[in-house]
Each structure stands twice: as C-alpha cells, then as structure tokens.
Amino acid sequence: MSLATDTPAAFFSYCHDDFEFALRLAKDLKAAGASVWLDRLDISPGERWDRTVEDALTSCPRMLLILSPASINSTNVMDEVSFVLEEQKTVIPVLYRDCKVPFRLRRVQYVDFRNDYDQGLSCSRRY
C-alpha cells in the first residue's frame, strides 16, 4: 500500500524482536479507530520496502517508538528516530521492556506497557 489519501497519524518503529507486541498494539489501536502504519500490515506484496517505509515516515506526523533493549540497539530503528526528530515530528515512546532510553528521548513523556498492557493501551488511544 503506498500511502493513500488518508495518511496514517502514526508510524510504528520497532525491532523485529518486538514484532509480536508491535502487531498486537497496532491491531488494537486500529480496532479502536486509530490511524497507524505498521510495515507488516501496510506494505503490499511486490512493493519496495525501503521506499514505502520512507514514504510513511515522511507522511506520518508522529511516530510510536517501541522501546526495548533490542530496539535501542537497532540501527534501522535509531535511523528512523533521527529522521523523525530532524523533521520535528512527534515521537511517542512506548516502553515495552526495561531498557536505557536514548538520551534524546529521555525528556519525552512515554506510555508504559511493561507491567499492564491494558492500562498502556488506554493511554495510547489518546494519540
């Protein structure tokens, strides 16, 4: 899917190790009416992955960043974060697993899913 006329409100950035959590959260947010973009749900077969991800990063006004030890060590995830910050878009950190939050995100309010998924989900629906 190249981004259609209804641009998703939030781009999901995550590491493959956290895919099951990212997929669950994206599906729950979509079911609640949120407009989110997740590569595995929104890239159609045959599309160029890198181009489609870049288009989504450019078009979405905010990012939901899944934070975990794996994601903060992922070059792809940190490249996506850098791009979004350089474009002065909103980053919403989603704390999935205990990890050292990157310096540039420490002063940004996060949503905490570490102990209670349902409570984190209710907070996420505001975005």
- % of residues, the chain, pLDDT over 70: 91
What average pLDDT does the structure give for the chain? 90
Give the global pTM: 0.88
What is the C-alpha to C-alpha distance for residues 24 and 32, in angstroms, rounded to an integer? 12
Q: pLDDT value at position 4?
A: 42
pLDDT at 53 over 70: yes
Cβ atoms of 94 and 111 within 8 Å: the answer is yes
Confidence band of 123 (pLDDT split at 50, 70, 90) = confident
Residue 13 main-chain phi, psi, to 5 deg: -115, 125
What is the C-alpha to C-alpha distance for residues 122 and 25, in angstroms, rounded to an integer? 11
Q: 111: closest CA among 103, 99, 102, 119? A: 119
